[in-house]
């Protein structure tokens, strides 16, 4: 069985030398554990943070050890109550082909209810992030004009579509290529979208949202956040989900220069972590799964094959190679 180890803490953009694909023995499960053959692995932007030593809301990956991440696989041996060989489970021991997981940390998923990969994306962690961040943190309400960055990504694409389905007055998205912009407008039903590489974000946002925005869902930080503050209407809310534009910075990035605008608009900026919102999980699935099944909410996945390409897939997320959720298929 092969697994990915972190060898050294990346400075700036992660380099292949910071990692190694290592051969490891397959253990049999102990009491209360299952052995899982992983089928789908998740690679996510937050993993960049765990590669650094800095203390955060999750512990850093340990040097010389296998990394972790979301994964879905099939139980091939079980000594855990309620889990049998042949069951499929969602768990957190990704970046490896086989994993021994405590039954307590494995959530049974139904391969007949939805494709297995969707438990990592549209019906999984990134989906709940979109749902909780928009509806709870940004306190979205019908009639709001919503702007989301990273809009062709896993979280962003779902934010814009949930806003549309729940009666937003206007949904605006930004993404990093002409194809992604086309997808947003033509498939996801955004009212307007722009490529942030085509010109200053503030100007492009003003053109796309001439009446301003009530909600900004931030996946990117930097110029996007400053532009959103500049276009914020009275009582506007900004949910800070991620700031992918700064994850590889070696120096702290400058903050938005126009924060004073929050005074006149009575605007609010609030960060959130999906981990605090799992109480919404069943409500989220109840509401969103039917939209996915009916095609009212569309999703994309970018699937990379093979454990040997796990690292490249992760780097691809930071570069923007993906449309929708980036998944590694084993
Ligand atoms: P995505 O599927 O959105 O992939 C990341 C995307 O970011 C890329 O496809 C790329 O698209 C875009 N990107 C990369 N660099 C830049 C840049 N400099 N400026 C603008 N866009 C950039 O990932 P996720 O949906 O998984 O995550 C989206 C965000 O949400 C991330 O910031 C992540 O950290 C955050 N997150 C936060 C959670 C929380 O609990 N708070 C939970 C899950 C995710 P493009 O081609 O458009 O540039």
- Amino acid 248: pLDDT: 96
Q: Has residue 294 been placed in a domain? A: no
Token pair for 23: 């051969």
Rounded Cα–Cα distance for residues 155 and 151 (Å): 7
In this prediction the pTM is 0.98
- Amino acid 55: pLDDT: 84
> Residue holding tokens 């000594």?
79
- Amino acid 56: pLDDT: 87
Query: Is there a single domain that holds both residue 112 and residue 134?
Result: no
Of 190, 147, 129, 140, nearest to 166 by C-alpha is: 140
- Tell me which of 126, 320, 322, 327 to substitute to probe ligand 1's pocket, judged by most ligand atoms within 8 Å of the beta carbon: 320
- Whole domain around residue 12: which residue ranges? 2-121+300-329
* Complex confidence, ipTM: 0.99
Of 38, 47, 41, nearest to 1 by C-alpha is: 38
Query: Is there a single domain that holds both residue 35 and residue 91?
Result: yes
The burial of 211, by beta-carbon neighbours within 10 Å (0-12 exposed, 13-18 middle, 19 or more buried), is given as exposed
Q: Do the beta carbons of residue 248 and residue 12 sit within 8 Å?
A: yes
Q: Whose CA is nearest to atom 10 of ligand 1?
A: 320
Of 247, 209, 244, nearest to 227 by C-alpha is: 209
Query: Is there a single domain that holds both residue 267 and residue 305?
Result: no
Q: Across the 330 residues of the chain, what is the mean pLDDT of every consecutive 10-residue run? A: 98 97 97 98 98 91 98 98 98 98 97 97 98 98 99 98 98 98 98 98 98 98 98 98 97 94 98 98 97 98 98 98 98
Query: Is there a single domain that holds both residue 322 and residue 266?
Result: no
Query: Is there a single domain that holds both residue 117 and residue 137?
Result: no
Of 255, 225, 259, nearest to 148 by C-alpha is: 225
Q: Has residue 44 been placed in a domain? A: yes
Query: Is there a single domain that holds both residue 163 and residue 106?
Result: no
DSSP character at residue 61: P
Q: Which residue ranges have their beta carbon within 6 Å of ligand 1? A: 44-46, 126, 129, 150, 152-156, 175-177, 180, 196, 219-220, 241-242, 244-245, 272-274, 317-318, 320, 322
Cα(226) to centroid(ligand 1), Å:
17
145-148 and 213-218: which strand pairing? Answer: parallel
CATH of the domain at 324: 3.90.180.10
Cα(320) to centroid(ligand 1), Å:
8
Which of 275, 291, 318 is the C-terminal boundary of a domain?
Answer: 275
DSSP character at residue 314: H
> Can you tell me which atom of ligand 1 is nearest the CA of 129?
42
Rounded Cα–Cα distance for residues 44 and 128 (Å): 14
């Amino acid at each position: 069985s092969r697994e990915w180890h972190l060898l050294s803490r990346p400075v700036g953009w992660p380099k292949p030398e910071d990692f190694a694909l290592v051969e490891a023995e397959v253990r049999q499960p102990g009491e209360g554990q299952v052995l899982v053959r992983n089928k789908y692995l998740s690679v996510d932007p937050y993993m960049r943070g765990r590669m650094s030593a800095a203390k955060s809301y999750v512990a850093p990956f340990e040097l010389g050890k296998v990394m972790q991440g979301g994964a879905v696989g099939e139980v091939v041996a079980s000594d855990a109550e309620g889990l049998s060989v042949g069951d499929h489970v969602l768990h957190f021991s990704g970046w490896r082909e086989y994993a021994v997981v405590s039954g307590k940390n494995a959530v049974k998923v139904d391969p007949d209810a939805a494709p297995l990969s969707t438990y990592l994306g549209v019906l999984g962690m990134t989906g709940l992030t979109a749902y909780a961040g928009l509806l709870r943190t940004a306190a979205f309400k019908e009639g709001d004009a919503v702007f989301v960055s990273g809009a062709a990504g896993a979280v962003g694409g779902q934010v814009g579509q949930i806003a549309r389905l729940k009666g937003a007055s206007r949904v605006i998205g930004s993404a990093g290529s002409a194809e992604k912009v086309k997808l947003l407008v033509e498939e996801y039903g955004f009212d307007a979208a722009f490529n942030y590489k085509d010109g200053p974000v503030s100007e492009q946002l003003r053109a796309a949202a001439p009446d301003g925005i009530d909600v900004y869902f931030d996946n990117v930080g930097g110029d996007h956040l400053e532009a959103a503050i500049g276009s914020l209407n009275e009582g506007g809310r900004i949910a800070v989900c991620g700031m992918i534009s700064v994850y590889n910075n070696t120096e702290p990035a400058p903050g938005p220069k126009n924060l004073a605008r929050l005074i006149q608009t009575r605007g609010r900026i609030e960060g959130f972590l999906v981990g605090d919102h799992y109480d919404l999980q069943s409500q989220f699935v109840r509401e969103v799964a039917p939209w996915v099944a009916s095609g009212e909410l569309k999703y994309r996945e970018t699937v990379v094959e093979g454990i040997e390409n796990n690292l490249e897939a992760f780097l691809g997320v930071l570069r923007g190679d993906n449309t929708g959720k980036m998944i590694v298929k084993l």
